[in-house]
Chains A and B, each alone.
Chain A
Amino acid sequence: MRRDIFQAIADPTRRAIIALIAIQAMTPNAIAENFHTSRQAVSKHLKVLTECALVRQEQKGREIYYSLELNKMKEFDKWLNQYRKLWETRFTQLDTVLSKLKKQKK
């Protein structure tokens, strides 16, 4: 199943995890210490984030470290900006249409 980035960041715990591992790579245990939740619950969130390619795992000795896939986050930011820009362009065009209509009315 293809996970969706919107779904990934809809959850407040997942957003908090993203904020945590944006600063440094962390193990699931270290991440879980920051939340009033079980290690299992954190693992579940990490699984969703991994499926969306928002985080990457790196094996260091016995531990797995999770870190943020910055490019993927930037991609999403870019999407938002582009969509916003599309509407800005539309509305600037609408401003022109409206000012023409106002002149015609006079």
Chain B
Amino acid sequence: MKDSADRVARFVDELLHGRRPNRFEATQEEAEAMAAAVTLSAARVGADVPDKAALDRIHQRIAEALDESSAVDRRLSRRAWLRTAGAAAAAVVVGVGLDEVVRSRQESGAAGGTPTLLPDNGTWRPVAAVTQIPAGHAMPVSTASLDAVIVNDGGRITVVSGVCTHLGCKLQPDDANRKLNCPCHQTAFSWSGKVLYYRLKAAPANLPQIPSRVNNGQVELYIV
């Protein structure tokens, strides 16, 4: 009993410290206790939220394994993916000019990402206060010229078109699953505008990005 208690106690210590537990040949009683410890450990608030770096590592390894022959393209695509998610907000934070924001987005589009909606004669127009969109939320906004969705992904503000690229239905944010759902034909887009799934004959296009910046606490869009 004491040996079992000691082995299980070490296993519990490792779980509670976030370390990978040592491997050992467990008796049935020990395995039962360990499974219960896993249930209790996993139920701690926030314990099962994955680290973004871990998700990136998994993505990288799968991309390389699935298509080794075009690994270079995959890496390009991945950089584009990251740019799509973070470039606009990062540029806004450090005050990079619009031309650089637009250039990076055009590059991401060329690598299979999402196109950028860049109007002729556009101007920066405020559409919402940053405080209206807490981290982890997406908020639809309408202007005279377009519908858009402002996304606050962990403090980074990005904006995509708020209209499904299939037949134009207005997208509905699903914050819990970090998606934008089309109510008309069961299509969903990621917060970065990529098609997640669809039930159509052909895949709809990704959502266009809307150039955006944060200025004096306001989210501004480059629109007409």
B is bound to A:
no
Chain A residues within 8 Å of B, Cβ to Cβ: none
